[in-house]
Amino acid sequence: MATKNSYREKTVQVDYLTRVEGEGGVYVRSEGGELREVKINIFEPPRFFEAFLRGRFLQEVPDITARICGICPVAYQMSAVHALEAALQVTPPPEIRALRRLLYCGEWIESHALHIYMLNAPDFLGYESAIAMAADHPQEVERALRLKKIGNRMLEILGGRATHPVSVCVGGFYKAPRRKDLETLNADLRWALEASKETLTFVSNLPFPDYAPEYEFVSVSHPNEYPMNERRIVSSKGVSIDPVDFEHVYLEEHRGHSTALHSSRADNGSSYFVGPLARINLNFDKLMPQALEAARASGISWPCSNPYKGIVARAVELIHACEEALALIESYREPAASRVEFKVRAGEGCAATEAPRGLLYHRYRINDRGLVEFARIIPPTAQNYHRMEDDLKAILPGVLDQSEAAIAQVCEKLIRTYDPCISCSTHFVKLRLERG
Amino acid sequence: MAGDDSAGIEVVRRLGELGDCGCDLRAETAPGVELLDVFPLADVIVFVDAVTSGGVPGSLYLTSLPSKGLEPRVLGSLSGHGWGLVETLELAQALGRTVPRLFLLGIEAGTVAQGAPCSPAVEKAVALVVERISELRSLLLTSEVVSTRTFCPSDRSFPGNPRFGLQVPPTGCP
């Protein structure tokens, strides 16, 4: 953190945000006690995945895009295969669809457990890190580690390995798991379901700042189930669109201070909010029964517009994921074929699925040889940057008289509630504050 | 993999092809808290990875962990959400977990350009490690490495004699 003070101007700079993935910072400038400028600077180099994909065969896409993130590779695979299947007009059977939801449940469990306990909870309990928190809260940290391990185990069984799974393909899976292998998860998932309820109790009692602006929440929505892989995109401001219209309603733009693109509403340039809080607010009644009951009993008023309570939303989704995973395994019948055969054809398709940290949109155009001619990937963190900056503009005027260290902590705490993955979005955090 | 960055994975792959080399082998591309599950499985764990310390490509470095003598990639912040080996070691200690004796075998990388082949110097270093795995295993099971040992490229004294384990190693390669 660097600071600069003068009569008219004061600067605070947090060079690197910690407990987030990737490299970025925050720049804040004030004059005469008035906040003038807030920028979330992403200085992690662009990763050019969209360019890497051009010229590659369509079945390589889920394996390449999985490499974008070690925490949420399944999300990249899911958005990729659904977009490509839209281009090919392929519809996998219900058994494959259920397996994909089960795989996504595994990723939500490992990612949410990591964020709740290891990245976000220390902010509310006054610890510098989960390592410091572990000395006073070993039971919670051990719970997190076991939950994460169970999520990873699900990815290993369904995806072949926990990091960057290899079994997902356009049309289904290269290999469908045996029912007996999935049943080995049941005892752990039953423990995880109860541990998730304990997690919700733990996070519901954290001390939350009093801040609840009017957001536009955006998420995938399905008429009959909690959103993961399909179908429409809806918002709390009345948007209800097919994914093919996403880029008409929400616009990605370059900002000079950032190597990540920032998303806004195309019509009025306003920010919007994706992630677990958006999903629950827009799909509350689609939660699994025990998750729904626990959410209602949590003491949180839903819909909830306090971004800090995103940690509660994640805990509710942790319950949901464990509950749904148990149900999916119970009803699993090994498919006759692990994937749908299809004829390669030229086409264009897009899809939006729900990564642990929010809506993830992919669009591909392929030629008649199945080679990618165009790829667009809009990750959840890039969609939230604009909203994070707006939150900081609303919150910082109330803390500008505090120490630079305190201001930096306010910035980091707010940004971490979004569970940003800068590496995914670079195409992201460091605080620099100038005030006078 | 990016050129010499594949050195660690390549050592594991070749040892795997040898059959039983007397060690359990794992290829970890993103070391994080998952390593806590690995710690109870062995008395000694050796992390083999490409390092960039400004030394001569193909040099080998052997040190116990944690170590302030090297800043290898495996100790850096390139792991998921900031959870690397250092953080995992600190967490294990905070939770009272048992941590085995840990070592790093670093292989100085030359080129780490995307898609580049392994450089001849690193190729020789990988071959030397594979050839001397039995001696390395014996050394680490019976000796402490109290400071970083540096072996210049093609230095066939690698991994050194157990009775010299307490000696400060020579520095600088021709």
pLDDT in tens, A375-415: 999 999 889 999 999 999 999 999 988 888 888 889 989 99
- Please check whether residue A114 touches B, CB under 8 A: yes
Query: Which DSSP string do the residues of A42-57 spell out, in sequence order?
Result: E-SPP--HHHHHTTSB
Q: Is the pLDDT of residue A115 over 80?
A: yes
Residues of chain B contacting residue A48, judged by C-beta atoms under 8 Å apart: none
Q: Is the pLDDT of residue A310 over 90?
A: yes
> Mind telling me how many Å the CA of B97 is from chain A's nearest CA?
11
> Mind telling me how many Å the CA of B145 is from chain A's nearest CA?
27
Residues of chain A contacting residue B33, judged by C-beta atoms under 8 Å apart: 114, 118, 145, 148
Preceding amide of B66 cis, omega within 30: yes
Q: Is the pLDDT of residue A186 over 70?
A: yes
Confidence of residue A285 (pLDDT cuts 50, 70, 90): very high
Confidence of residue B53 (pLDDT cuts 50, 70, 90): confident
Quick check: B30 and A70 CB within 8 A?
Answer: yes
The mean pLDDT of A327-337, rounded to a whole number, is: 96
Range with the largest mean pLDDT of A46-55, A328-337, B97-106? A328-337
The whole-number pLDDT of residue B6 equals 87
Nearest by Cα to A58 from A397, A374, A300, A404 = A374
Judge whether A142 and A195 are in contact, CB under 8 Å: no
Nearest by Cα to B154 from B135, B174, B136 = B174
Q: Is the pLDDT of residue A327 over 70?
A: yes
- Average predicted confidence (pLDDT) for chain A: 90
Q: Which residues on adjacent β-strands are paired with residue A21?
A: A421
Q: Is the pLDDT of residue A8 over 90?
A: no
> Mind telling me how many Å the CA of A21 is from chain B's nearest CA?
4
Nearest CA in chain A to B81: A21
The mean pLDDT of A150-172, rounded to a whole number, is: 93
The mean pLDDT of A278-300, rounded to a whole number, is: 98
The whole-number pLDDT of residue A423 equals 59
The whole-number pLDDT of residue A328 equals 98
The whole-number pLDDT of residue B146 equals 72
Quick check: B87 and A135 CB within 8 A?
Answer: no
Interface of A with B in 197-256 (CB under 8 A): none
Q: Is the pLDDT of residue B149 over 50?
A: yes
Residues of chain A contacting residue B36, judged by C-beta atoms under 8 Å apart: 145
Residues of chain B contacting residue A416, judged by C-beta atoms under 8 Å apart: none
Q: Is the pLDDT of residue B163 over 70?
A: no
Please compute, for residue B124, the number of CA atoms within 13 A of its CA located in the half-sphere on the CB side: 15
CB nearest to B81's CB, from A20, A135, A162: A20
The mean pLDDT of A354-373, rounded to a whole number, is: 97
The whole-number pLDDT of residue A156 equals 94
Q: Is the pLDDT of residue A256 over 90?
A: no
The whole-number pLDDT of residue B171 equals 52
Confidence of residue A255 (pLDDT cuts 50, 70, 90): confident
Q: Which residue has the higher pLDDT, A294 or B55?
A: A294
The whole-number pLDDT of residue A16 equals 62
Confidence of residue B100 (pLDDT cuts 50, 70, 90): very high
Query: Which DSSP string do the residues of chain B spell out, in sequence order?
Result: --GGGGHHHHHHHHHHHTS--SS-----SS-SGGGGGTGGG-SEEEEEEEE-SSS-TT-EEEEESS-SS---GGGSS-SGGG--HHHHHHHHHHTT----EEEEEEEE-S---TTPPPPHHHHHHHHHHHHTHHHHHHHHHH----S-EEE-TT-TTTT--GGGTTSPPP----
Nearest CA in chain B to A137: B95
The whole-number pLDDT of residue A4 equals 54
Quick check: B82 and A164 CB within 8 A?
Answer: no
Quick check: A19 and B82 CB within 8 A?
Answer: yes
The mean pLDDT of A39-66, rounded to a whole number, is: 86
Mutation site for A-interface testing, chosen from B34, B37, B39, B81 by largest number of A Cβ within 10 Å: B81
The mean pLDDT of A58-72, rounded to a whole number, is: 91
- Average predicted confidence (pLDDT) for chain B: 81
Confidence of residue B32 (pLDDT cuts 50, 70, 90): confident
The whole-number pLDDT of residue A49 equals 85
What is the four-CA torsion angle of A147, A153, A154, A158, rounded to 10 degrees? 170
The whole-number pLDDT of residue A288 equals 98
Q: Is the pLDDT of residue B75 over 70?
A: no
The mean pLDDT of A271-292, rounded to a whole number, is: 98
Q: Which residue has the higher pLDDT, A122 or A2?
A: A122
Judge whether A424 and A70 are in contact, CB under 8 Å: no
Quick check: A19 and B90 CB within 8 A?
Answer: no
Q: Is the pLDDT of residue A7 over 50?
A: no
Nearest by Cα to A169 from A252, A220, A99 = A99
Return the residue matching tokens 């896409």: A61
Confidence of residue B168 (pLDDT cuts 50, 70, 90): very low
The whole-number pLDDT of residue A9 equals 63
Q: Is the pLDDT of residue B70 over 70?
A: no
The whole-number pLDDT of residue A296 equals 98
Residues of chain B contacting residue A70, judged by C-beta atoms under 8 Å apart: 30, 32, 79-80
Q: List phi, psi (to 5°) of A316.
A: -65, -45
The whole-number pLDDT of residue B166 equals 39
The whole-number pLDDT of residue A247 equals 97
Q: What percent of chain A has pLDDT over 70?
A: 89
Confidence of residue B12 (pLDDT cuts 50, 70, 90): very high
For A164-176, what is each residue's pLDDT tens digit?
899 999 999 999 9
Interface of A with B in 139-158 (CB under 8 A): 141-142, 145, 148-149, 152
Residues of chain A contacting residue B82, judged by C-beta atoms under 8 Å apart: 18-21
Quick check: B82 and A142 CB within 8 A?
Answer: no
Range with the poorest average pLDDT among A71-75, A135-139, A169-173, B112-116: B112-116
